[in-house]
Amino acid sequence: MGITFLSSDIVESGIQIEKNGKDFYEIVAASSKNDKAKQIFLYLAKEEEKHIKTFEVILSGIETYEPAESYAGEYLDYLKALSEEHVFTKEKKGIEIAQKVNTDMEAIDLAIGFEKDSILFYYEMKKILLEKDYKPVDKLIEQEQEHLRKLSEVKKSL
C-alpha cells in the first residue's frame, strides 16, 4: 500500500488559493474603471472569504488517508505538481499579480483562468479527502463554476 500522508497539506493549499484570490479581487476592484467589473470583483472577494472559512472547517476535521496508488507517493506527487503550477498557492501571489494588471479585461481574463484552475484543483482534492468532506468541496466547486459564468458574462459586456 502507498504511503500515508496528511491531506491537510492539500486543504491548506486550497486556503492559500482562496486568500490569494481574495487579495487579487480586492486590488483589481479598487483600480477598476468599469462598474460591472468592479461589482463582480467585490462580490468575488467576499465569496473567497467564505471559501476560506469552509476550508478551515474541513481542515479542523481532517484525517489521514491513503489513496490507491501505483507507486508510493504517486498521488501526493501529482497534487503537489498541480498545486505548484497553480499560481495562487504561493503566498502573496494574488497581490503581486493584481498590481501588474493594467485593464479590466486583463483582470477578467486572469480571473477566469484562476477560477478554472481552482475547479480542477478542487476536483482532484476530493480524491484525497474522506467522503464526509465531499459535500462542502462539491459546493465550493459549484460556486467556482458560478463565478466562472459570471466573469464570462461581464467579459462579454466589456
How does pLDDT run across 50-106, given as a tens digit for each residue?
Answer: 999 998 888 888 765 555 656 666 666 776 676 666 656 778 888 999 999 999 999
CATH code of residue 54: 1.20.1260.10
Q: Is the pLDDT of residue 7 over 70?
A: no
How does pLDDT run across 123-143, given as a tens digit for each residue?
Answer: 887 877 778 778 888 888 999
Domain coverage including residue 32: 5-157
The tally of domains found in the chain comes to: 1
DSSP assignment of the chain equals: ----EETHHHHHHHHHHHHHHHHHHHHHHHH--SHHHHHHHHHHHHHHHHHHHHHHHHHHT--EE----SSTTHHHHHHHHHHHHSGGGSTTHHHHHHTT--SHHHHHHHHHHHHHHHHHHHHHHGGGS-GGGHHHHHHHHHHHHHHHHHHHHHHHH-
